[in-house]
């Protein structure tokens, strides 16, 4: 029964779930689409998903020079995945990673590279027709936890999560999701779907957005796997 549910949703959810994201992103020059997800329900227009950080968050580090992302790791939720470059699809949205590659994350190459000044955007599927995918546990990330991005110049950009929120489709806040929280920082957004599943419309009611900012950097290792 569950497998049939995923097969029916497949590509259909990718259009409906992200409709509000698309309309908001046109204002910022970024467009995103995604596949189905299993997320936590949102309450109200914006709901915090992660718990408050137990300690004060570290100071931001100065942005790095631009370099293409290669891999991303979020140790707290078991994410360690390759990152591929994505442009726009025929509908004007970001072409997501292939649905047949559930363990791959997409980076929108029309925005900032992770670690460089500005807001970098990463998206990933949450499940496939039959099983969880790369961002299945994204809503479990908490403020204060780290996101690491291996870059093409062999540096590892280390980000600290400052918020985890679920934005309802009814009142999507493009400024908060895609605008810089503070000027002169290197910021990162990891985005997927969430909220309750609307069986009538075959969509989910919200989007989960993890916001982080650059707090450190280090040199990568000699092999791709060792660097993260």
Burial letters 25-38, b for 16+ CB under 10 A, else e: beeeebbbbbbbbe
Domain range annotation of the chain: 2-219
Residue located via tokens 């093409």? 152
Residues with Cβ < 8 Å from 133, sequence gap 6 or more? Answer: 35, 102, 103, 124, 125, 126, 127
What is the percentage of the chain residues whose pLDDT exceeds 90?
Answer: 43
For 127-156, write each residue's pLDDT tens digit: 776 888 899 999 999 999 999 999 999 999
Asked if pLDDT for residue 55 goes beyond 50, the answer is: yes
For 199-219, write each residue's pLDDT tens digit: 787 666 777 899 999 999 998
Class for domain 2-219, per CATH? mainly beta
**DSSP 8-state assignment for residue 11:** H
26 versus 131: the higher-pLDDT residue is 131
Pairing mode of beta strands 46-48, 146-151: unpaired
Residue 48's pLDDT is 63
pTM: 0.79
3-state secondary structure of 10: helix
3-state secondary structure of 158: strand
Instruction: Name, of 1-10, 41-50, 68-77, 213-222, the range with top average pLDDT.
Output: 68-77
């Amino acid at each position: 029964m569950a497998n049939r549910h995923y097969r029916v949703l497949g590509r259909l959810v990718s259009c409906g779930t992200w409709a509000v994201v698309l309309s908001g992103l046109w204002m910022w020059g970024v467009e995103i689409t995604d596949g189905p997800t299993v997320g936590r329900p949102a309450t109200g227009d914006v709901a915090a998903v992660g718990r408050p950080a137990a300690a004060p968050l570290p100071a931001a580090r100065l942005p790095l020079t631009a370099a293409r992302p290669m891999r991303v790791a979020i140790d707290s939720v078991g994410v360690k995945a390759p990152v591929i470059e994505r442009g726009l699809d025929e509908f004007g949205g970001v072409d997501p990673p292939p649905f047949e590659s559930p363990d791959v994350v997409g980076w929108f190459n029309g925005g900032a590279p992770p670690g460089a000044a500005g807001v970098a955007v990463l998206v990933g599927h949450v499940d496939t027709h039959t099983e969880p995918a790369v961002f299945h546990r994204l809503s479990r990330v908490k403020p204060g936890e780290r996101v690491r991005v291996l870059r093409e110049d062999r540096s590892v950009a280390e980000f600290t999560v400052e918020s985890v929120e679920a934005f309802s489709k009814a009142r999507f806040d493009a400024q908060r999701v895609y605008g810089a929280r503070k000027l002169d920082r290197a910021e990162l957004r990891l985005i997927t779907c969430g909220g309750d599943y609307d069986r009538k419309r075959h969509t989910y009611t919200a989007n989960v957005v993890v916001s982080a900012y650059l707090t450190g950097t280090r040199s990568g290792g000699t092999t791709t796997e060792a660097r993260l």
